[in-house]
Structure formats: structure tokens, C-alpha cells
Chain A
Amino acid sequence: MKSTPTKRSRAAKNGHTPPADGDGRWNLRLYVAGQTPRSLTAFQNLKNICEEYLQGQYHIEVVDLMENPTLARGDQILAIPTLVRKLPHPIRKIIGDLSNTERVLVGLDIQPRQE
């Protein structure tokens, strides 16, 4: 369980993944800690982005670590809020309240990183 993130991180480092082409299902998990304004903002931002770019292809799971603190260990969550792209592989992590849409798109590999 512990070594999984390491492997995934290596994969992420080595092979640059092509942007998801849309037919794959986007499985996103948002980690929050309680119903804080920041969590709510993050959720709202995520929802907006998904609706705009991944309409119909996404699934958002919200994990409240206040309720399930053990889950923080699995995905190596430190920062709150953290968005984890479980699918498509490889796993990607985005931290922050997702207010910077451009960076969210880059982070999720929806849009290629712009120089």
C-alpha cells in the first residue's frame, strides 16, 4: 500500500501522458476536511471546470477526512483541499482551492502545459 504512490510517481515522472481523449472516464477524488469555506469553494470550482471541460465523463468523489481520517494515508494527503485524479492513469494531485482554472487544467492534463 505504501509503495504504490512511489511507483505511480515514477510513472508520472517518466512517461508524459497524452491528454485524456475524452472517451476515458474521469475519476476525481476531492479531499476536504469538514465543510470549510475553502472546501466548498474548491468543490464549486471543480464542478465548474468539469462541467465545462469534461461534461458527462467525470465522476467526483468527495472525501471528508474529518470523517475518515485513515483515508489520508492511502493517497498521501497533506494539503487540504487536494484533488486526486484516480483515472485516467497515472495518478495526479492538485492542491489548493482550484481557483486557478488554468493550473487545474494543466494539473489534470486536460490542457497541455503552456510555456
Chain B
Amino acid sequence: MTKSNRRNPNNAPGLLKDRTGIPGFDEITGGGLPAGRPTLVCGSAGAGKTLFAMEFLVRGATLFNEPGVFISFEETDEELATNVSSLGFNIKQLIADKKLLLDYVFIERSEIEETGDYDLEGLFLRLEHAINFIGAKRIVLDTLEALFSGLPNEAILRAELRRLFRWLKEKDVTAVITCERGEGTLTRYGLEEYVADCVILLDNRVENQISTRRMRIIKYRGTAHGTNEYPFFIDENGFSVLPITSIGLDHKASTERISTGNSQLDTMLGGKGFYRGSSVLVSGTAGTGKSTIAAHFLDAACRRGEKALFLAFEESQQQIIRNMRSIGIDLEPYVKQGLLSFKNARPSTFGLEVHLALIHKAISDHKPQVVVVDPITNFLAIGDARQTKQMLTRLIDFLKNEQITTIFTSLTSSDNTIEDSEVGVSSLMDVWLLVKTVESNGERNRGLYILKARGIAHSNQLREFRLTEKGIELVNAYVGSEGVLMGSARATQFAREAALAAEREDTRKRRERELQRKHEIYEAQLLALKNHYESEREAMVRELQEPEVGAANQRVDMAPLRPADVDPRMDENGARKARKGNVR
């Protein structure tokens, strides 16, 4: 357990590292160069060896208060100072402050006659004096191989170099030794066999007439390190290495949501917009409003007071600002406030790696929270699909690591399937908005889909997407029996539907009235039937009573004929009652 821990460069007690302070380099080496040991930096002419070495010293002196000695075998002190001052290093001041010491070691073979045994003690003494004079912790020997051309006796020289590296270790200075690259070997004179701790290769390749600088750590004894080729970049601030591939997939996933700048689009994205730190792809054919969506997003970010960066590869800053004004977005105030920064460049100006580096740098300088890259498809002009994807992967990794929400626009050609994003980067994206034009009835209308939105319950609807003077407006597109309709067709369809609805309403009301009438008829008929029945009943009751009355009357009439009988009329009421009771 302890053994494996020791190998871990982060807490290895045995292997101390000396930070170079060169942006990106310390990340790929897990902390810098091996402290107190020599490092070989090899590369062909113009690869940037001297600059790397000088920056190692200058940053050591300025950032970490570690004085350094620069032993130059090729350039004089004045030449060196002039050369590196163009890169933003004021080494004259550092020399005056005793933070830096330049020593030009000149060796001219024609001046030297060998007359017997010798050693390089003179060089050692010079180094020692220089180191002691300013208390140097760092030393650079640029280019040590000049000794091979200057001193004829290679056997002595090799023995002395071996001694030199041992001596440097004893002096406990972190040394950088630069070497010319040889044919098929790392160094022309095989110096790598002496410097076994750390070997760095710098390279400058030209592909498609665009040169790209790359760096690779060939060897770093006793520590884990990135083994890829890392592009690097030299600009007015010196060296920048891009350790973007080394970041990997361990970035944080924020749960914070930020607005897209359009409330309707927010609604489509679960009501809250994008996750912070997500990468958003907006793809579509020409003129579908991709940049407008991006500008909306920037506008919303700046309104929240966040910093934004617009990386434009097609339009100039002024052009973008002017065009966005036409849809009611004024970006200029944000530029003036320093919230929004533009980086405009033609893709063909640099290689992919340099673009990546420039973006990296622009982000490091401006520290934005949202970034727009418009468009990524233009990179295909300078690299093939694989390289472009690789570059974008690194860019996305970097942006995600920095928790920067980014909108990438991508131009798709209209003839092939719209989902076929040319760069093939869609799998890297968290959200993919697709803007497409639908051509029908002699007009082109814009439709917007959310093809995917990782971790967001998003709308599956196609929305009609309109650019108005107040920005983007998303309208419910007509999706119905007539298919998908947009624009005037949608309006017509809506009108037609409204008419239909009115008609249906009309019919309904008519039916209602009809029913009412039927009901009334029924009620009337019911009443008539009842009346009829009542009258019939009455008649029948009357009929039923009539025969009895007749019989009684007959009896009454017969009584006088029979005087023996009691006259019933004497007891008329009682008899009637009795009769009635009988009837009932």
C-alpha cells in the first residue's frame, strides 16, 4: 500500500517536483520537472527549446522566487534578452535583481588546439560560480551539444558530461538541458543516455500548410505523466501547453439551471433551461437562426451579470452586434461593461491546435461563465473530421471542467438527413437543439426541436421558430390531421379550424334547441293524453253509475202502485245514503 502511494506523484515524498509555472505544463507532468535533477528538452531547430528553458527560469524567478542561471552556448546575453523580451519577459530587470544570471559560453573549434589531456573544470567552475552568485535553484544549459562541435575529443567530452550531470544533481539544482534532435534519435549526440530522469520532446509539424507545435513527455522516471502529444503555443506571453486531453471525465455536474434567454425555450427544457456547465449544440441549415439563439443566450447571461465570450469564426464583432440589433438584442453595452468579449478569427488563419490554444487562452484571460462557438463546422476547413472531433472533445472537456456553459453552432447541409451533424460531435453534447427550415407553400419557415437534453425532461414538440424584432418567438406549430404546418399555412389552418369550430358550435346549439322543442312536444302530448284520459274516465264513471239510478227510480215509481209498501221518499236521504254506500 505504502509503495503504491509513494508512486503517486501527488504525495510522493521521494520525488519532489519543481513547478515550471508554464501554463498547462505542470498539469501534464503532475507538478513540474523533477526537482534537483536534470531534464532533457529536445527538438529540432525552431521547436521552442530555448523559450521553454527561458520561461522555466523566468517563471521560477518571478512566481516561485527561485533564481536561475541561463548558460547559453549559442546566443549572447544581449541576443537572448532581445529575443525573449519580444515574448513579454523583461529579463534585464530580473538580472538586475539577481534573480537571473545569463552566461554566454562561447566555443570556437578553430581557436582551440588540443595539446594533451584536459577536463572541463573551467565550465564546472563557471557554473558553480554562477549558481553560487545568485543562489540559483534552476539552471539551463542551452544547447549543450555545442560542446561537441567545439571540442574535438569526444571521449573526454562524454566523460565530462557524465560528470556534469552527476555534479548538477549534487548541486541540487533543477536543470534543463536543451538538445538538437538527431536523425532517428532523440538527440544528435545521444545525450539522453546521461539524462535519464526526464526527457521532453518538442515538435513543430506542418500539416496542410499550417504548423502546429506539439510536446510529448517521453520519459519521466518515477512518476505518472501524460503520454500524449500535447499541442503547445507560443505567443506574446510565452509558452502555453494545452493539457486538455488529460482532464478526462471527472468534471463536476452542476444542478444549477440557467436560462436560455427565451422563456418559451426554457419551458421546452423542463421550464428552467440548460444545466450550468453543459454543452449545447445548435445545428441547422444556413440561415436558420443558430447565431441568434446563441446571442439570446449571451444576452441572458450578461443580463444576469455573468461574463460571456463569443468565439466567432464567421463574422466580425461589429457585424454580429449590428445583426443582433435587428432582432432587438443589443450586445454592445455588455462589451463596454467588459462582460462580453469577442474573439474573431478565420479558421484558416491557424491550425486546429492553435485555435484550441487561443480559445484556451481567451477563456483563461476573460474567465467567462458562458461561451459561444460560432460555428464549429468551419474547423472542417482546416482539419479532417477526426481531428476536428478530437479538438472539440478537448475543448468540451476543458469547458466542462471550468463549468462553462457553451453553445456550439453547427451548420448542416440541407440535402442529407438533418440529424447527421457533420462533425459527429453530437454525442459529446448534452443538449442538442435542431433548427430546420420547412419549405412549403412557397415559403420557408423555421422549426425548432430538442433532439436531446440529457437529464432534462424536455418537450418532444416541434415549435415554429420566428425571429421578430423582439427576438426569438416560439410558436406552437400546427401538428394535426393535415401534417405539420407552419407560417402562413399554419395561420390558414388555424383560421380554417376556427371556422370549423364555429360551425360545430352552431350545429350543437341547433341540436340543443331541437331537443328542447321535442321535449316540449312530448310534454304537450303527455298533457293532451292525460286530459283525454281524464275525460274518458269521467265518462266511464258516469256510465257505471247510471243503471242503479234507473232501478231505484223504477222502484220509486212503482211504490205508489203498491200502497202496501212504505213510501221510500219518506226516507229519501237515508235511502240515498244507503244506495250510495252500496254503489261504492
Binary B-proximity of A4-28 (CB < 8 A = 1, otherwise 0):
0110010011000000000000000
Q: CB within 8 A of A31: which of B78, B108, B122?
A: B122
Is A92 at the interface (CB under 8 A from chain B)?
yes
Number of chain A residues whose Cβ lies closer than 8 Å to a Cβ of chain B: 40
Measured between beta carbons, the chain B residues less than 8 angstroms from A106 are: 113
* Chain B interface residue count, Cβ-Cβ cutoff 8 angstroms: 30
Residues from chain A with a CB closer than 8 A to the CB of B494 are none
Given contacts A13-B110, A95-B113, A106-B113, contact A70 B129 (CB under 8 A): yes
Whether B115 pairs with A2 at a CB distance below 8 angstroms is no
- Report whether A78 and B113 are in contact in the complex, using a CB–CB cutoff of 8 Å: no
Asked if A54 CB lies within 8 Å of chain B CBs, one says: no
| Interfacial chain B residues near A42, Cβ < 8 Å | 116
The residue from B78, B113, B116, B129 contacting A72, defined by CB atoms under 8 A apart = B129
Would B111 and A93 count as touching, CB distance under 8 A?
yes
Among B76, B107, B115, B129, contact of A78 (Cβ-Cβ < 8 Å): B107
Q: State the CA gap A28–B107 with chains docked (Å).
A: 19
Among residues of A, the one whose C-beta sits closest to the C-beta of B150 is A78
In chain A, positions 30-88 with a C-beta closer than 8 Å to chain B are 31, 33, 38, 42, 45, 65-66, 69-70, 72-73, 76-83
* Cα of A15 to Cα of B120 in the assembled complex, Å: 29
CB pair B120–A99 under 8 Å, yes or no, is: no
Beyond A79-B151, A93-B111, whether A72 also contacts B118 by CB under 8 A is no
Q: Quick check: B113 and A94 within 8 Å, CB to CB? A: yes
Q: Are A73 and B113 in contact (CB under 8 A)?
A: no
Contact in complex: A3, B76 (CB < 8 Å): yes
Interface string of B97-129 (1 = CB under 8 A from A): 000000111111011111111111111011011
Contacts of B126 in A (CB 8 A): 69, 72-73, 77-78
- Report yes or no: A78 in contact with B116, Cβ–Cβ below 8 A: no
Cβ–Cβ contact B78 & A2, under 8 A: yes
| A13 cross-chain contacts in B, Cβ below 8 A | 110
Residue B77 at the chain A interface, CB threshold 8 Å: yes
Q: Which residues of B contact A (CB under 8 A)?
A: 76-78, 103-108, 110-123, 125-126, 128-129, 147, 150-151
**Known A2-B76, A78-B120, A82-B122; further 12 A-B contacts with Cβ < 8 A:** A2-B77, A9-B106, A65-B122, A69-B128, A78-B122, A78-B151, A79-B118, A95-B114, A96-B115, A97-B118, A98-B115, A103-B113
22 contacts between A and B (CB under 8 A): A2-B78, A5-B106, A70-B129, A72-B125, A73-B126, A76-B105, A76-B107, A78-B147, A78-B151, A79-B121, A79-B151, A95-B151, A96-B115, A96-B118, A97-B118, A98-B115, A98-B116, A99-B115, A100-B116, A103-B113, A103-B114, A107-B115
